[in-house]
């Protein structure tokens, strides 16, 4: 049996990645859509053969509760809408995948986790790199200490924003923040899964070269995460630089990925040479794994709690920017 997924929000990521990936999945399928745009409803319905009864808008969405074709709701909306639609989906009795960054702040993440627990539904975050072989190798090398104790981490993620100056990503009320929320979350995750540990403190600084564009949100942020034992993981996020790497040094060697976080073309090396892993459809594997977790009653490796942990770091980074001091991650 294939579980039915309904995508909520048919923007760039749903159109370019998730819907195509759902043509390759083995344990789930694109069964429904939720959109505020009638013309998208029409084109998606004919392209993906979605029956009218499985098409919803944001107001009638809650009646998805009565639709047995839909097992999982996948929230792919601006960040400010993640909490509302995750909670409404869980209350409608559906399992939920919510895109990154999980929500505007860690308080919202806690509410989302509590609502899914209360409804007895599973919640997962769209952390596709947990299904990507090079990133999984970094987790193994770092967490198992294959090269000994980690002595430093250096990671960065960003792109040069040339998009719409009026897009939701640049509006704080909709995005919660700029490149840190959108791109930095991968570097924070990377530092956490390379070590298998949770950072205790963070100190951050920021830089803005295009203040007219980034009026409300951060452009480039630099941070230092302090892990138990004193390890420092340096990170940076940007809407003004094309970055995407994760570099780890340890006592007996080193390993790194670059590009580290993209949909494809991921490359890595260790002190022993090039990594040799295939490129995979990350989104297809991520959604199939969640479907199997639901069917087999197993925990997902990327639950809401993972999103919450990253959001706690993000909250502390913004706090550090405001205070100018090192802040505890709570
Ligand atoms: P997008 O702007 O392309 O799409 C957003 C969708 O939300 C659009 O269909 C838009 O119509 C709809 N929407 C509903 N209400 C809206 C409002 N008030 N303002 C603006 N749009 C509104 O964005 P996207 O790139 O598809 O990103 C959506 C989510 O997916 C974000 O959380 C983003 O971080 C995440 N994402 C994840 C990845 C990944 O690799 N995991 C990649 C891209 C995006």
Given 69, 100, 125, the domain boundary residue is 125
Do 246 and 168 lie in one domain? The reply is yes
pLDDT at 301: 98
**pTM score, two decimals?**
0.99
Do 231 and 315 lie in one domain? The reply is yes
Do 188 and 86 lie in one domain? The reply is no
Answer whether 304's CB lies under 8 Å from 124's CB.
yes
Do 92 and 135 lie in one domain? The reply is no
Q: How many A from CA of 14 to the centre of ligand 1?
A: 8
Burial tier of 51 (Cβ tally within 10 Å: 0-12, 13-18, 19+): exposed
Answer whether 236's CB lies under 8 Å from 159's CB.
no
Does the active-site annotation cover 203?
Answer: no
pLDDT at 241: 98
Residue-number span of the structural domain to which 92 is assigned:
3-125
Looking at the structure of the chain, the number of domains it has is 2
Q: How many A from CA of 79 to the centre of ligand 1?
A: 8
Instruction: Give the C-alpha distances (Å, rounded to integers) separating 261 from 100, 205, 277.
Output: 13, 23, 15
- The per-residue pLDDT of the chain, averaged, comes to 98
ipTM score: 0.99
Given 125, 148, 181, the domain boundary residue is 125
Q: How many A from CA of 290 to the centre of ligand 1?
A: 21
At 25-47, the pLDDT tens digits run 999 999 999 999 999 999 999 99
Nearest ligand 1 atom, CA 127: 41
Do 173 and 321 lie in one domain? The reply is yes
Give ligand 1 pocket residues (Cβ under 6 A).
9-14, 36, 76-79, 99-100, 126, 128, 168, 174, 182
Do 244 and 231 lie in one domain? The reply is yes
Does the active-site annotation cover 56?
Answer: no
CB atoms within 10 A of CB 295: 14
Residue 16 lies in a domain: yes
Instruction: Give the C-alpha distances (Å, rounded to integers) separating 234 from 9, 74, 158, 279, 322.
Output: 34, 32, 15, 27, 19
How many whole angstroms separate alpha carbon 278 and alpha carbon 264? 10
Q: Whose CA is nearest to atom 21 of ligand 1?
A: 78
At 247-299, the pLDDT tens digits run 999 999 999 999 999 999 999 999 999 999 999 999 999 999 999 999 999 99
Do 187 and 121 lie in one domain? The reply is no
């Amino acid at each position: 049996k294939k579980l039915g997924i309904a995508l909520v929000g048919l923007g760039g990521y749903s159109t370019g990645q998730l819907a195509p990936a759902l043509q390759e999945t083995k344990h789930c399928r694109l069964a429904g859509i939720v959109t505020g745009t009638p013309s998208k409803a029409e084109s998606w319905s004919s392209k993906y053969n979605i029956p009218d009864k499985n098409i919803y808008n944001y107001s009638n969405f809650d009646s998805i509760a009565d639709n047995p074709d839909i097992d999982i709701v996948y929230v792919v909306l601006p960040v400010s809408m993640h909490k509302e639609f995750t909670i409404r989906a869980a209350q409608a009795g559906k399992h939920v995948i919510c895109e990154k960054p999980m929500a505007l702040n860690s308080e919202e993440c806690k509410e989302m986790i509590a609502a899914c627990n209360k409804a007895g539904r599973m919640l997962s975050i769209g952390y596709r790199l947990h299904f990507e072989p090079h990133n999984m190798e970094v987790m193994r090398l770092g967490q198992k200490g294959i090269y000994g104790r980690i002595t430093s981490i250096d990671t960065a993620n960003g792109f040069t924003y040339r998009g719409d100056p009026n897009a939701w990503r640049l509006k704080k009320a909709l995005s919660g923040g700029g490149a840190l929320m959108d791109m930095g979350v991968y570097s924070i995750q990377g530092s956490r899964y390379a070590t298998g540990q949770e950072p205790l403190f963070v100190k951050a600084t920021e830089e803005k070269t295009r203040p007219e564009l980034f009026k409300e949100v951060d452009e480039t942020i630099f941070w230092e995460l302090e892990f138990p034992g004193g390890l420092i993981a340096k990170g940076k996020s940007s809407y003004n630089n094309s970055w995407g790497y994760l570099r780890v040094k340890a006592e007996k060697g080193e390993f790194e990925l670059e590009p580290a976080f993209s949909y494809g073309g991921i490359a890595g090396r260790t002190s022993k040479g090039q990594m040799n892993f295939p490129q995979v459809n990350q989104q297809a594997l991520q959604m199939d794994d969640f479907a199997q977790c639901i069917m087999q009653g197993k925990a997902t490796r990327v639950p809401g709690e993972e999103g919450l942990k990253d959001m706690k770091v993000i909250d502390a980074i913004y706090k550090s920017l405001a205070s100018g001091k090192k802040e505890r991650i709570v």
